[in-house]
Every structure is written in C-alpha cells, then in structure tokens.
Structure 1
C-alpha cells in the first residue's frame, strides 16, 4: 500500500507522539509498504533527526514557532497550498492523520480532492492538556472547547484509531460517532535491550549500591513529575543515598528544578535531558532499581512498555492508557496517586532484591504483548478494510 502520514509534530521534537509516529512508519516500511510522512520543519535541528528516515520518505514543510509553546511548530498556511497540489497528484491508498491542527486540515483537504479514505489517531487527551497551555482561560471553558473541537475533528475523517479502550470511552462521552478501532502503537522490542546500568552509574558518579529511581518523561505539568519529587522526599529518611534520575526536557524544567531546591533534594535528583534512544537512554533505564511514573493523561504510556522491555521494575499509577498497559502486568506495582502509598510501594522494592528480580524477569515477557510485530498487522488490516474499489472494479 501507499500510505500518506501527516503530523504537526515529529523529531527533533521529543515526545510520545513523535515516537509513536516513527514506530508506525518504520514498522509499515519494514512490512513492505511505501510510507510518506509530512511534518513541520524545525530548522537546523531537523537534520539531526534524520538518521533513521531512510526507510520512509519525509517531507518537511516551513513552519513557525508557537508563542505559547515554543517547543512546537505550526506549519505555515502558505506551505499547505503548494504541498496540497503536489500530494493530490500522487496515488495514495490511505491518508493517516496523527494530529488535529494543520495536519488534519491537509488530510481532510486531500481526502476531498482525491477520494482517499482517511484515518486519524487520537493520540492526546486534549481535555486534560489544554488548561496547562491556556491557563488564562477558565478551566470549564477550555474543557468545553476541547470536547467540542475533538468532536468536530473526529467527524471529519472516515475512521479513528485510539490507543486504549479508556480513550475510546472518552470519545464516546464526547458524542463522537465516527467508527473507531483500538490499536496501541507498541514498541520495537529489538530497540530496547542491552542497556548498561553500571556504565551509566559510573559515568555519573552514582554508587553501585545507591538506591535509584528513574523516570523518562517530557518535563511538563501534565506528566506529574512534581508528585514523584515529593515521593522522593518521603523516601529520604529511609534511603538517604537515594538517587532520582530524570530523563527528558520540557517547559516545566525550571519549575521542577526550583521544587528540587525547595524540597532539599539537590543531592538526590539528577536531570539528564533527552538521552540518545540507542545508547544512553537504555543505560539510564538499566541504572534504575525502580522505574516510576504517575502521569494521569497518557493515552498509551509507551515509556512503561520500554521499562518492561528493559527489565526495570515499575511503580506507577494506572489511569487512562497506563491502566491498559499495566492491567495484566507482572512487572509492576500499581499505586494510587497518594504520596505515602506510592512511596511505600517504591520502598518495598528498594528493600527487596528478590522482589526486584522477580519483576525484572517478568518485564520482557509483559512487553511482548506490546510488540509492533503483534500490533502493526492490525493497522494494516484496518487500512485494507477502508480501501475503496477502483472505478474499473466497482
């Protein structure tokens, strides 16, 4: 099949949506399908993200910085007009839209011009996110807008992909009537093995016996990292040598560093920024005695699957997509969003080598259920079900 993918976000912008899109595109290309991905141009940094793009075509469109969210880009309207003509002249079997802004606009326009079936993945729980980015608007108004806009966008495509049943329930509450299919993205298990935790600890002066928590996350309010910092504070009396390793970047970094100082955690918390997914990130996962996560807005929770694959024991809340990932997991302890309870789960694992070993051994087996080899076939089946017969066969 010839598959056109459209998105308002992609590497070098590091987040779960970028990772999901790349996983989708790579997997489809490996299955023998032709994939073209249209995304914003981030300027000179875009070249740094192209080391793995040989398997599929990437078209980057001129874009501008968004004043209230400088990490992201908005494709320029003038760029849409030119690329629409170019893309409409090509033969596509399906158009897969990944984000609801310019990419959605382009996808709907192309579908109207070419009659190509459109699929859209609902990656992000916008109702929970929008208030963080538009804090000057009343919360009730932003939630109403998110629901109304989501309903309108979803009704503009032929089919929806949702990463979890919980997200499908949200859309049903919104009144969305577009057919949907639950297909998590999953991960390429071959990419998540071989990390060297001892090397990471040695490189950063972390003792081999130091009790260590690790999280991998965008540094933004909705990821709830402040909660994890308060959990670390509760653990200090029992584990004074505790080290909390945080991999990721984002707009909440300054506030989180200030919180670390106010909690007196300067000697216990390390911020590492975005780590290389082929080397140092794997080492960071392996360096952790426990992987911790508490975001309430995830539609998938890909980092939990990555931690499973790396054999890092998990303590996490289970909300939205993370509830789906953790439902039958033997590699995780599920906690409520209560600092004392969460800290208790972490403490039990830090105290018990045997318990950590049992969870670590179960992790790779849990991760197999989320392998792209298992999940991408379902996406291809969905695409095939939407194909429209050619006029000669109709």
Structure 2
C-alpha cells in the first residue's frame, strides 16, 4: 500500500492523552510514528503528564489530573492564545477532542484563514457523563455535551470526522455532525507483537498450576470498565464448579480505585490474578497464554484490547455494546452477548472452553481477522484522508472568492453561540472538574452506585 504524500506538510496534532497506557495514547502514538516516518513536519500539543518535559516539537499544557484516573489531565481553560500566533500549520489533527480539542476548535473558528481540521472521535464523553454525573445532572450533561459537540463539529474548517463504530456514527448524526464528513476508521493492531507464538506454557503453569482454563481481561482499572459484571461472572463460574483462573491486566495510579475493584472479587480471590500494568512482551505473553478473552465494558468506542486478543489467537466473549460489536464476528471470532445477560455470558464461557475444537476454530478465525487490520493499513487510510483534505484546500484556493471571509464571526447569532460554547468549557469545569478537586475520592462511591444500578437494570445505558 503506497503512502500518501505528506512530506514537508506542517501538521499540528493535539491529543487529550499522550503518555498513559490507554487506547487513545497507543492509537495516536502509532499515527505520529507513521507521519514522522513519511516526512511530515509534526508539532504535538498535549496535557502535561507526570511532569514530563516537552521536546522542541512538543507543547505540554497545564491542567488538572482527574482523581479517579490521574493519567488523564483536563487542560485549564484557554491556554491556547499563542499557538496559532507562533505556528501556522497546513492541517490540524485532533485526537479524541475534549477539553483541549474543544478549546482549539473554538480558537480556529475565529481565525481569518483557519487551517483545515481532521478529528478522530475516539472517546464517547457522553457515556462517561451518564455514568459519572448524578441524576438529573447526568441527562443535562449529556444533552449539553451533545449540543456543544454538534456546534463545534459543524465548524467549516472541520473536513473529516473519523469514527470507530456504528454506535458512534449514530451518536454523531444525532448531535448534528455533518454526515458527509463522517469516515469510519477504526484502529489497527501490531500483529508482530501480538501473535499466537507468544504463548508461554511456563507462564500458564504459574497462573494455572492445576491445568485450569485461563480467562483474561485487559483494561484500565476504572469504575466504568464493567468489573461489577465481571465479578458476578467469576462468582457464577465458581458456583458451577468450573476450574478457571481469571487474569486481570491493568491498573490505576489512584490506589483507591484499584482497591475498590479488587474488593469486588473478595469472594473469588483464589481464582483471580491482578498483574498490574503490562506492556510490550509481557503484555503479549499474557494475551497469548490465555484461552479466552472476556470484555465486560460497555463504554468502549472501539475496544483495542479486543483486537489485540484476536491477534494473539484468543477468541473473545463481549457484551454487545459499543465498538466490540463491530470488531467481533459473532460465532466466527467470538461471541456477542446482550449487555445484561449474565446467564448467557457464563454459558458461552463454559461451552467454548469445554470444546477444544471449537476453541481452536475461533482462535484461528480471530487471528485471520486481525491480520487484515494492521496499524500500517489504518494509519495509511488516515494519512490518505489528510492528503485529500490538503488537496481540496489547494483547489479551493485557486477559485476566486467574491466575498472575503471575515476575521471574526460577524452575526449576533454566531457570536451568541460562540459565547455559549466558551461558557460550556467553564461550566464543565464548574460541575465536574472542580468538585473532583474539592472532594477527591469521595466522588467514587457515587460512580460505583451508578454502575451497580446499570447492571441491575435500574438505569438503562444510552444506546
């Protein structure tokens, strides 16, 4: 596959997450490496992470780490005034726009000659707002977030909006994002790192010394990742006398969050192994040494870990909501289960792990699917769209305009909408970030109660 020509093009890439171990960081890192290898002149803007110093081509902005997930930093309002005064990019790429991305879009709207924008919608903030905010503030927060996203995404400079799955496309259409700018992109996987050959029998013996089946889940330890459901799955497997070990890979730099998750498994602790964060060879070994991957989160827009498990030759059973619904081929590479159907989830685990022929067939199909979803192909598609946008801008610049584009939004209505969007940034700080700063970890019990309500069916998830 030939690479698009971006050599020498000045690209300003802004990301909400650069450094932590999560799907957004890994996806963005892969794209950055691809663009640099193909000669792009890249400048990166991101929140400060663990006090890391910025390189000459990297600008770190101050912000507030979230107590329930210190790896994520919400950029302080309006620290971007000087960026476009000192740097004129050919194109702006926004990875998973939130606090930083929203503010950048607001500033771009006011430029006389704004650069074209490509954004990648990787995080469904409204799903998080629905879980984290108490009612009725949750419904108001979801509505307000969708209103502002629709307003910002309709900015004339936004030429492409990448989305990862059908659910997210439906959401974007619902908030008013222009349909003709939506492009499904997805994510890729490193099929060299994640592959069946990484299976380690000694590791399996250490985890499951009595030959138990090995189940695995990989994700950040956080309230919204489905651990309430997973703990009930483990309890039911114990009740049904299934010989298994459950490996949970992931962590959280807030020890209170990790403790709450681990306490969910108190009744089955002899069956559960918490490894903490794993990366590189250690992570690939853990994947490939398992028999079955369990995905219990219902907030994933894609679910990169699902693809990594499949590349490792490990079939997946997942709750049928969000990104995994588009990745897993039901009955071929794994199984999708209605989000609240605990009985069916447990029954499929027993059926798949009890039939070695079926397990091998699923594993082979999963690997074949992953072979066609490499980072090289995904990043080439993203870069191709960037090159197409730049080509369109070049063509448009050759067409004379009868009326010059104003430097500031001129109409009263547009000014009012802009003021509302600016106010939204401060409002979200007021209702979400500031309370987290003041109350810290006391916020967490409310989130856990909300999640338990979702599992029990008392508070339906937004589809």
User: Aligned runs of 1:355-394 on 2, under 5 Å?
Assistant: 355-387=358-390, 388-389=393-394, 393=398
Aligned to 2:81: 81
Alpha carbon RMSD of aligned pairs, Å?
2.7
5+ residue gaps, structure 1: none
Paired residues of 1:330 and 1:363 also in contact (CA < 8 A): yes
Match of 1:41 among 39, 45, 48: 48
Residue 391 of structure 1 and its aligned partner are, at CA, apart by: 9.2
- C-alpha distance 336-379 of structure 1, shift in aligned 2 (>3 A): same
User: Aligned runs of 1:1-394 on 2, under 5 Å?
Assistant: 1=6, 2=9, 3-11=11-19, 13-44=20-51, 46=52, 57-66=57-66, 69-77=69-77, 79-88=79-88, 92-98=89-95, 99-110=97-108, 112=111, 114-135=113-134, 138-156=137-155, 157-177=158-178, 179-193=181-195, 194-202=197-205, 204-207=206-209, 209-250=211-252, 252-261=257-266, 264-276=267-279, 278-327=280-329, 330-337=332-339, 338-387=341-390, 388-389=393-394, 393=398
Could you state the TM-score of these two structures normalised by the residue count of structure 2?
A: 0.74
* SS of equivalent residue, structure 1 residue 190: coil
Residue 212 of structure 1 and its aligned partner are, at CA, apart by: 1.3
Paired residues of 2:105 and 2:152 also in contact (CA < 8 A): no
Structure showing greater Rg:
2
Q: Which structure ranks higher in relative contact order (CA pairs < 8 Å, sequence separation ≥ 6)?
A: 2
Paired residues of 1:211 and 1:241 also in contact (CA < 8 A): yes
* SS of equivalent residue, structure 2 residue 122: coil
CA–CA separation in structure 1 for the residues paired with 2:29 and 2:146: 27
CA–CA separation in structure 2 for the residues paired with 1:344 and 1:323: 19
5+ residue gaps, structure 2: 1-5, 400-463
Paired residues of 2:198 and 2:288 also in contact (CA < 8 A): yes
* SS of equivalent residue, structure 2 residue 80: helix
Aligned length: 379
CA–CA separation in structure 2 for the residues paired with 1:215 and 1:68: 20
Could you state the TM-score of these two structures normalised by the residue count of structure 1?
A: 0.86
- C-alpha distance 113-40 of structure 1, shift in aligned 2 (>3 A): farther
